[in-house]
Chain A
């Protein structure tokens, strides 16, 4: 067992850290405040190859291993979790193609992402179907050599700026999850509309919209996997993306810890820096310990995937533990800052708002526990 990062893993970490520190951090408060789309930051990320990390190099991506991706992603989230979510949204949307696409589909649908800045959205969630994927009501019907999509998707990351959409729809609602099928919609064809950017509590730099399909036509060649395989495709995608989401939490928590260490050394009460009070020390120790524990779970869950093994259990451990941990650590950071922590002039209340979303998206912490229990009963 090897706990040391390799030289090239450290180089990737350094590159992402430099981008997070010098490019993202100076703008993080601005994009949090305005909730504008951070195009300049994403454009810089594209130039550095931080977008599309998961696309294999033979299809024009960077082709990082899962472990390398989570190492990089922690740094991005340390810079700003909203920007990081926008960055990894492409990989989330492209994972179904990476995992289940044919060679032709990969060439056509993945390669353009390496050539120019382009966004893709993963469209699974609906107003009435989140983790309960089988309740999906977006439909697909076959007409000649095209499928026709109808329905509404919500909470779609980068929806307003995407020019490719990976969409899950059912061929027959009566068949529950066995009717679900995955499609890739290229461009913004007639009938596809996106709603206004949602006014979110946290991760405000990431664009979030509804996406509506009204008689949107998709060629059969853009069906990923077979008819009825969409549920399997979605679950495999989430097994792959949970380590990334977990690493976002670790990045947020590390930022919260660092701010707290710094501030607790400057702020004095009762004649000494507050970090010399035992009550504050206990909080700082717990923050550091839990951040590190989450990092190790995250690395393990990515490593298992790199070994070619199923990681459903480990990735749910990682995502659930890391998300809950980040929420607690960020809340404690606000506590360490006291009244100042509640003020927007200080950086920690943003971390608390950003962390909350990770307990919710890509499977709530409760759903992760259901997955864990199910795995334990196997």
Chain B
């Protein structure tokens, strides 16, 4: 089984994000970067599938030289090799999906696993576009019935289940009113939700081994993808600061204020 996973470089979710005064971008000086947490869950799921069905995990990232750091992280977790699409400059979701399509057509994986969205732009589009471009089935927001404290999770078995005929996978999806199980034919695109698994830590020996694992370099031109963005970012702005709440002495005052000031009851 061959699994293609993604590793987008995003701002560390614990860092403080500030918008530049002119609204053109965020302030990047001093920021730390990480693998997109949803992608990390995808890498983990890929590794579990590969362990169970003797497979190979290939990790792909798009960006400048710096994204090699995230590729190495996935390699340190246990991915076998990496593909780096060398591209700097703006890129929209269609461009990303177009590049991933070409990488997938080249690698011919059984499954592509992506984060359902990346925590920087939170677009939640690439997985869906990619499935459409490839003409494959998709199972978005993959989750599982078991909790992250369950025995299933402790045993590190994959939540994405290969059917007996090995031609499709069953995926539990998070939907608005609970969980839904779908079966999707392989090859397929799966996007991960938060509760799918708990990614393993990169071990020190893993980090040392990752240094010698291969990273193949590709470019949009070599893949024949026009990545000129169709979406233009005009301006960034912070959400308005929230005003502090008030404390009320008793329920009667609360009801009075809800009725007369907030006018909601």
Using a CB–CB cutoff of 8 Å, the interface residues on chain A facing chain B are: 7-8, 10-12, 14-16, 18-19, 47-50, 53, 57, 62-64, 72
Contacts and interface: CB of A to CB of B under 8 A. Distances in A.
Contacts of A14: 202
B149 to A, nearest CB: 15
B203 interface: yes
A15 B204 contact: yes
A15 B205 contact: no
A49 B72 contact: no
Contact of B208 (A7, A19, A47, A57): A57
B76 interface: yes
Given A8-B211, A11-B76, A64 B204 contact: yes
A49 B68 contact: no
9 contacts: A8-B207, A10-B69, A11-B69, A11-B76, A14-B202, A57-B205, A57-B208, A62-B208, A64-B208
B201 A7 contact: no
Contact of B207 (A12, A19, A47, A57): A12
Nearest to B206: A49
A15 B207 CA distance: 9
B48 interface: no
A95 B206 CA distance: 23
B73 interface: yes
Contact of A49 (B69, B205, B210, B211): B205
Contacts of B207: 8, 11-12, 15
Interface residues of B, number: 15
Contacts of B208: 8, 57, 62-64
Interface string B176-201: 00000000000000000000000001
A57 B205 CA distance: 9
A16 B203 CA distance: 9
A48 B77 CA distance: 11
Interface of chain B, main secondary structure: helix
B72 A50 contact: no
Contacts of A53: 204
Nearest to A49: B204
B72 A15 contact: no
B211 A15 contact: no
Given A57-B208, A63-B208, A8 B72 contact: yes
Interface string B195-233: 000000111111110110000000000000000000000
Contacts of B202: 11, 14-15
A49 B208 CA distance: 10
Given A12-B204, A62-B208, 4 more contacts: A47-B203, A48-B203, A49-B206, A50-B204
A127 B204 CA distance: 37
A72 B68 contact: no
A62 B211 CA distance: 13
A164 B203 CA distance: 25
Most A-side CB within 10 Å, residue of B69, B72, B73, B207: B207
B201 A18 contact: yes
**Interchain residue pairs A-B with the least CB separation, the first 6:** A49-B204, A49-B205, A48-B203, A49-B203, A62-B204, A11-B207
Nearest to B12: A14
Contact of B73 (A11, A62, A72): A11
A61 to B, nearest CB: 9
A12 B205 CA distance: 10
Most B-side CB within 10 Å, residue of A12, A14, A50, A72: A14
B69 A62 contact: no
A213 B69 CA distance: 50
Contacts of B201: 15, 18-19, 48
A327 to B, nearest CB: 30
Contacts of B206: 49
A48 B72 contact: no
Most A-side CB within 10 Å, residue of B201, B204, B210, B211: B204
A10 B68 CA distance: 13
Nearest to A61: B205
Nearest to B207: A11
A194 B201 CA distance: 35
B204 A7 contact: no
A62 B202 CA distance: 13
B39 to A, nearest CB: 16
Interface in B59-87: 68-69, 72-73, 76
A72 B69 CA distance: 18
